[in-house]
Amino acid sequence: MLQPKSHSTLLRANQDGGGISSLPDWSCPPPGQQDKLQGLRKAWSDWLAAKHVPLRLRKHVQAGSEEPLFTPAEITELRSLASAWFASQGVQDVSWEIPEFQPYALAALQHLATVLDDPDTSLWPCLLEGVPTGIDANIPKSNVFIPVQHDRQELVENLHICAGNWKQAEEQPELLAELVQKEESEGWIFSMPDLA
């Protein structure tokens, strides 16, 4: 685990992969940027300290526990703090419902993105409706990466059509069946009827 920064330590940030608008270290907001998460960060930090979560997390990791770190009651408390913060930002009635086949409360995350003026305005509708594959319609631009101009002919020439299975899948069918069964039992995939 990383050691906590002291107050005298200079800011340090690794690029977090969030695109051109992403600023990974908000311990000191960049000039001209409003720290919209300050209230939520303080509420959650106070709550985490009161519940001794950093110590619990350390024990949890050291024990190799696969149990959730937070109880359902604690999750409700954290959601309540987040809902109060959302209300202070003008967002009422945040839904914490988790859609089928999704691991996240996408409606709440969409509200968060809106409050934070996230430039990736197409992400949440895509996740809620189903991510387009680019076959029937174009995949919407994310607005978070610097656009790259490509010669369309070059793209077509580099397109590869998969004509077979993954090599290890062919060589180890028992392992493949085991991995697919595990994914299905954990709810990551499900069997579809034949489309033919």
Largest CA distance in the chain: 65
Torsion of CA 143, 148, 149, 154, to 10 degrees: -120
Contact 127, 102 (CB under 8 A): yes
DSSP, res 37: T
**Could you say which residues of the chain have pLDDT below 70?**
1-30, 150-160, 195-196
Per-residue model confidence (pLDDT) at position 1: 47
C-alpha 182/C-alpha 58 separation (Å) is 29
**pTM of this structure:** 0.66
Per-residue model confidence (pLDDT) at position 170: 85
Q: Residues, the chain, total? A: 196
Per-residue model confidence (pLDDT) at position 152: 62
CA distances 99 to 80, 144, 169, 190, Å, are 20, 25, 32, 16
**119's tokens:** 């430039």
Rounded to the nearest 5 degrees, what angle is found at the Cα of 44, between the Cα atoms of 40 and 17?
Answer: 70
Per-residue model confidence (pLDDT) at position 3: 63
**173's tokens:** 């069918």
Per-residue model confidence (pLDDT) at position 94: 96
**Could you state, in order of their start, the residue ranges of all structural domains in the chain?**
36-91, 95-145
